[in-house]
């Protein structure tokens, strides 16, 4: 390429799941050519259920009205901001100011970069969890700041180790990313955890951003960091309709906090896009008005799926928390450097891929295969993490994709993740294939 890209892009790569899709497409084609069953993708957490009927009806009803297809207010409809405020009061017990303390977003993922642009200067440091959502780290790099990882470990319940945090060099730290129910681990926050986080942020003058889109999934009661006394001094919270209302493709999210801080985000957002389509805002209002019955039915289905995903992990000898929350089941591979059922499974990887020294195209009979993982391709099995060895063996041996934990950080290397965004019959088919593969 003759035209050189900006320096800020050199420290980031295409999102893992975007790159991996090329490999999944190739595996799918190969299976079709052999007359085998279709690929089962248990990777991304994209809800497969329908949104509330009232939301769809509002979208259709509003979209045909004259005058709704023009630019909308950057701040969003007052009715939508009030609906978000009512939602927080009803379910989180939090009072938000709808006239400045809430900013609708094109999905909460947009907010991750907007907040970084609004508050982080080049050279600043930002605390990001390991394991954690890769976009936190990417957004930090894109604004010229330095990501500073803090550990989340199973022995601590996937909570921050505040003693370790206090021992870190916190000079220059401007912001901290927090995410509960946690992705990828499924750990739930407690009021005591949020109190510790707020105390830490206030003590060190660090902006804490809590990413909270999973709070209704498989939880008894959703909680918000903004319920903690003093949180408005140092905290923002992102939320979304993507997970709790099966509306991931609609891209409806929000950020909430002190109006002065929210206004800084609006400064950036208003330079990048315009207001959300009015029909979608009206639909979001209806979705936010859903009562307890909606979440009861939603979680009944996710409990069935979590149990089915657990049976997949049981077959693989992977340990997990059967009461985890959120859209994923996170499992630890036993004795990744030793022996056992998982190692027997991953031992076949070299054969599946044409040997550890063969490329993926050679292993698939010459079909062109694009690089799929965030490292050179081919990757000898010995150079892979335990989670990746298992994921690749299962993918190429059964046509089932489960996410390797290294994607989320060093502390996820010996883990794998299953998305619950697949019906129970699909999870049962995945289990049958894996059992047959292991037995063979």
Whether the ω angle into residue 184 lies within 30 degrees of 0, i.e. cis, is yes
Nearby residues of 153 by Cβ (< 8 Å), 6 or more positions away: 161, 411
What tokens appear for 182 in the block? 């946690």
pTM, rounded to two decimals = 0.88
Q: What is the pLDDT along the chain (440 residues), one digit of tens a residue?
A: 688 888 888 777 777 888 888 889 889 899 999 999 999 999 988 899 999 999 999 999 999 999 899 989 999 999 999 999 999 999 999 999 999 999 999 988 899 999 999 999 999 999 999 999 999 999 999 999 999 999 999 999 999 999 999 999 999 999 999 999 999 999 999 999 999 999 999 999 999 999 999 999 999 899 999 999 999 999 999 999 999 999 999 999 999 999 999 999 999 999 988 889 999 999 999 999 999 999 999 999 999 999 999 999 999 999 999 999 999 999 999 864 444 444 554 544 444 433 333 333 333 333 332 233 344 355 555 678 899 999 999 999 999 999 999 999 999 999 999 999 999 999 999 999 999 999 88
Distance CA 284, CA 292 (A): 17
Are residues 330 and 186 in contact, defined by beta-carbon separation less than 8 angstroms? Answer: yes
As a whole number of angstroms, the distance between CA 299 and CA 289 comes to 17
Closest CA to 200 of 223, 168, 247: 168
Going along the chain from its start, the domains and CATH numbers come out as 7-38+294-439 (3.90.1150.10), 67-290 (3.40.640.10)
* CA-wise closest residue to 16 among 418, 409, 367, 336: 409
User: How many whole angstroms from its chain centre is CA 26?
Assistant: 24
């Amino acid at each position: 390429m003759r035209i050189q890209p900006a320096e800020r892009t050199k420290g980031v790569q295409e999102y893992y799941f975007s790159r991996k899709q090329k490999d999944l497409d190739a595996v799918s084609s190969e299976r079709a050519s052999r007359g085998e069953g279709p690929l089962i993708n248990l990777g991304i957490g994209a809800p497969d259920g329908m949104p509330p009927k009232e939301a769809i009806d509002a979208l259709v009803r509003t979209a045909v009205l004259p005058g709704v297809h023009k630019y909308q207010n950057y701040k969003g409809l007052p009715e939508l901001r009030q609906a978000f405020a009512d939602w927080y009061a009803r379910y989180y017990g939090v009072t938000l100011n709808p006239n400045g303390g809430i900013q609708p977003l094109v999905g909460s993922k947009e907010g991750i970069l907007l907040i970084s642009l609004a508050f982080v200067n080049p050279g600043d440091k930002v605390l990001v969890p390991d394991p954690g959502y890769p976009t936190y780290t990417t957004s930090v790099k894109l604004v010229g700041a330095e990501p500073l990882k803090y550990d989340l470990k199973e022995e601590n319940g996937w909570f921050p180790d505040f003693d370790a945090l206090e021992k870190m060099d916190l000079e220059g730290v401007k912001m901290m990313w927090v995410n509960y129910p946690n992705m990828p681990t499924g750990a739930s926050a407690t009021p005591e955890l949020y109190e510790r986080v707020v105390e830490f942020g206030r003590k060190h003058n660090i902006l804490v951003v809590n990413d909270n889109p999973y709070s209704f999934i498989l939880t008894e009661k959703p909680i918000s960091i903004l319920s903690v006394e003093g949180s408005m001094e140092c905290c923002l919270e992102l939320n979304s309709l993507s997970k709790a209302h099966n509306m991931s493709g609609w891209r409806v999210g929000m950020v909430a906090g002190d109006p002065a801080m929210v206004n800084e985000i609006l400064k950036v957002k208003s330079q990048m896009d315009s207001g959300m389509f009015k029909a979608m805002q009206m639909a979001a209002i209806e979705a936010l008005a859903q009562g307890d019955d909606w979440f009861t039915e939603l979680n009944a289905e996710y409990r069935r799926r979590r149990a089915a995903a657990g049976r997949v992990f049981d077959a693989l000898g992977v340990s997990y928390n059967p009461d985890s929350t959120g859209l994923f089941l996170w499992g630890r591979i036993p004795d990744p450097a030793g022996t056992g059922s998982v190692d027997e499974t991953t031992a076949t990887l070299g054969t599946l891929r044409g040997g550890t020294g063969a490329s993926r195209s050679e292993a698939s009979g010459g079909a062109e295969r694009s690089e799929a993982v965030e490292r050179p391709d081919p990757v000898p099995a010995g150079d892979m993490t335990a989670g990746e060895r298992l994921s690749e063996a299962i993918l190429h041996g059964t046509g089932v994709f489960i996410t390797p934990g290294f994607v989320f950080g060093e502390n996820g290397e010996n883990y794998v993740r299953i998305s619950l965004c697949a019906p129970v019959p699909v999870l049962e088919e995945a289990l049958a294939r894996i059992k047959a593969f292991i037995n063979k």
